[in-house]
């Protein structure tokens, strides 16, 4: 994907000063936090807005007629509008607050899948999926008698679209579910192409945008997808909240996912009827303060600009791949820098990823080691685990240098 020069360049050092986490030393070293794909750090602006909400405007929403309840409701609904604008959804009622991207995908798999899948149907995912966009589909396919098919990967860690016709010949494709950016390899997937293919088959397209929405513009209308899932915690927001966007006509036709308070229209002994969108899918007390934090995080990221963030992370990925390429005995996974987001996965020959990560931790470097919730991908790569370094708008090159220094130490320790 060609990245155009951003209108304004991002100043990572200035941005970093907004993040209190970097004010400490870890094992006596500056913190090189290279695990933002798992969860991002939080800017003071977001933390302050949540504190302000708890301190001045907190009450349960939608139920009260008093001032605080009205303020809290306005804050929650204001946050919903910010999410709508973030993803350019046509209607704010199409934004459902959920706990995270995992819950968003489960909502679709259960509420849409249970009523729309059956024997002879095909659910298509990819070898590159996070378990969150694999296991729910595998399970619901199993429950309904549908089959699960996978789009395979090339050796460079990109989706191999040459076999799409062969997949389509296996059954009636009803769902295509893929991520936009891979959390393991950083691969940027050709989602628009896959959406067009899914629609040609008469299928819906579910986009897991957990790793794209934090780093690039995600426009649901431009994408053409039917559902999009995001998590706030990966994009400078708090944990415990995420959003599902879905098309009105699909959401209206779906059964609810969770049942209880707030999601009803009327409850009688004989029958309960469901509330309007988005409430039908928001049973129970909403993640109010979390939504406010999510909104503040969106404001923060938009003020910097997603074009600038994306371009900066491409530079970091290229820098990291270059520096890691200097090391002997290191295997790098995934596509070249110009076709990946700010994520690099690698293995050090003869050293288990957990040992690598532990030695790096002693030097203040935080990376992830494991299967990254992508066991089908690990199987394809022929490894049990990898090391993964991932970047965000506050990442500076010195952190990548610190990683490379740390890897030299790993090599010495295990020589
Ligand atoms: N989809 C992708 C592509 C992800 O990377 C993740 C989380 C999820 C879905 C699930 O998000 P959640 O907020 O519901 O947990 N990825 C990672 C990771 O790479 N390391 O820890 C979590």
Burial string for 250-272 (b: 16+ CB within 10 Å, else e) reads bbeebebbeeeebbbeeeeeeee
Per-domain residue ranges for the chain? Answer: 12-38+305-413, 49-302
| Residue 394 near residue 22, CB atoms below 8 Å | yes
CATH of 49-302, one of 3.40.640.10, 3.40.190.10, 3.40.50.10440, 3.30.70.100: 3.40.640.10
Nearest to 317 by CA among 304, 334, 301, 330: 334
The predicted pLDDT at position 21 comes to 98
CB-based burial of residue 413 (10 Å sphere; 0-12 exposed, 13-18 middle, 19+ buried)?
Answer: exposed
**Strand, coil or helix: what is 396?**
coil
Say how far apart CA 174 and CA 89 lie, in whole Å: 23
| Residue 180 near residue 219, CB atoms below 8 Å | no
Q: What percent of the chain has pLDDT over 70?
A: 98
Q: Residue 157 — φ and ψ, nearest 5°?
A: 85, 25
**Which CATH number does 12-38+305-413 carry?**
3.90.1150.10
> Tokens 């049973």 label which residue?
283
**Ligand 1 pocket test target in 36, 186, 231, 376 with most atoms within 8 Å of CB:** 231
Assess whether 373 carries a catalytic annotation.
yes
Say how far apart CA 164 and CA 18 lie, in whole Å: 46
CA separation (Å) from 344 to 173, 208, 319, 386? 33, 19, 11, 10
The predicted pLDDT at position 6 comes to 46
Nearest to 388 by CA among 409, 374, 405: 374
**Ligand 1 pocket test target in 98, 183, 371 with most atoms within 8 Å of CB:** 183
**Is the CB of 179 inside a 6 Å radius of any atom of ligand 1?**
yes
Could you tell me the distance, in angstroms and rounded to a whole number, from the CA of residue 51 to the centre of ligand 1? 26
Per residue of the chain (415 residues), give pLDDT as tens. 444 554 678 999 999 999 999 999 999 999 999 999 999 999 999 999 999 999 999 999 987 789 999 999 999 999 999 999 999 999 999 999 999 999 999 999 999 999 999 999 999 999 999 999 999 999 999 999 999 999 999 999 999 999 999 999 999 999 999 999 999 999 999 999 999 999 999 999 999 999 999 999 999 999 999 999 999 999 999 999 999 999 999 999 999 999 999 999 999 999 999 999 999 999 999 999 999 999 999 999 999 999 999 999 999 999 999 999 999 999 999 999 999 999 999 999 999 999 999 999 999 999 999 999 999 999 999 999 999 999 999 999 999 999 999 999 999 999 8
**Is the CB of 173 inside a 6 Å radius of any atom of ligand 1?**
no
């Amino acid at each position: 994907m060609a990245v155009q020069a951003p209108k304004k360049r991002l100043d990572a050092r200035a941005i970093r000063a907004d993040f209190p986490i970097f004010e400490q030393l870890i094992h006596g070293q500056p913190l090189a936090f290279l695990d933002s794909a798992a969860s991002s750090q939080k800017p003071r602006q977001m933390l302050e807005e949540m504190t302000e909400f708890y301190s001045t405007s907190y009450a349960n929403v939608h139920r009260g007629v008093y001032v605080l309840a009205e303020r809290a409701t306005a804050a929650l609904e204001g946050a919903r509008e910010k999410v709508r604008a973030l993803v350019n959804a046509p209607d704010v009622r199409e934004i459902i607050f959920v706990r995270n991207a995992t819950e968003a995908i489960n909502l679709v798999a259960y509420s849409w899948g249970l009523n729309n899948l059956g024997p002879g149907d095909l659910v298509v995912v990819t070898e590159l999926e996070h378990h969150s966009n694999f296991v729910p589909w595998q399970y619901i396919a199993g429950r309904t008698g549908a089959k699960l098919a996978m789009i395979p990967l090339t050796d460079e860690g990109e989706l191999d679209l040459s076999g799409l016709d062969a997949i389509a010949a296996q059954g009636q494709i009803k769902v295509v579910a893929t991520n936009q950016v891979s959390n393991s390899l950083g691969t940027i997937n050709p989602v628009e192409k896959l959406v067009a293919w899914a629609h040609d088959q008469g299928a819906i397209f579910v986009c897991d945008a957990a790793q794209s929405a934090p780093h690039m513009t995600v426009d649901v209308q431009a994408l053409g997808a039917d559902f999009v899932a995001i998590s706030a915690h990966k994009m400078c927001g708090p944990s415990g909240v995420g959003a599902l966007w879905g098309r009105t006509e699909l959401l209206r036709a779906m059964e609810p996912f969770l049942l209880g308070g707030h999601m009803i229209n009327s409850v009688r002994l004989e029958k309960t009827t469901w509330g309007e969108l988005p409430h039908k899918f928001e049973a129970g007390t909403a993640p109010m303060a979390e939504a406010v934090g999510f909104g503040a995080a969106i404001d923060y990221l938009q003020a910097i600009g997603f074009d600038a963030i994306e371009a900066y992370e491409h530079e970091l990925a290229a820098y990291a791949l270059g520096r890691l390429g200097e090391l002997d005995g290191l295997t790098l996974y995934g596509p070249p820098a110009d076709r990946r987001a700010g994520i690099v996965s690698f293995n050090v020959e003869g050293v288990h990823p957990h040992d690598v990560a532990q030695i790096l931790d002693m030097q203040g470097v935080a990376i992830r080691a494991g299967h990254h919730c992508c066991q089908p991908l690990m199987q394809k790569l022929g490894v049990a685990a990898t090391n993964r370094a991932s970047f965000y708008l506050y990442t500076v090159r010195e952190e990548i240098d610190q990683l490379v220094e740390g890897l030299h130490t790993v090599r010495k320790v295990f020589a």
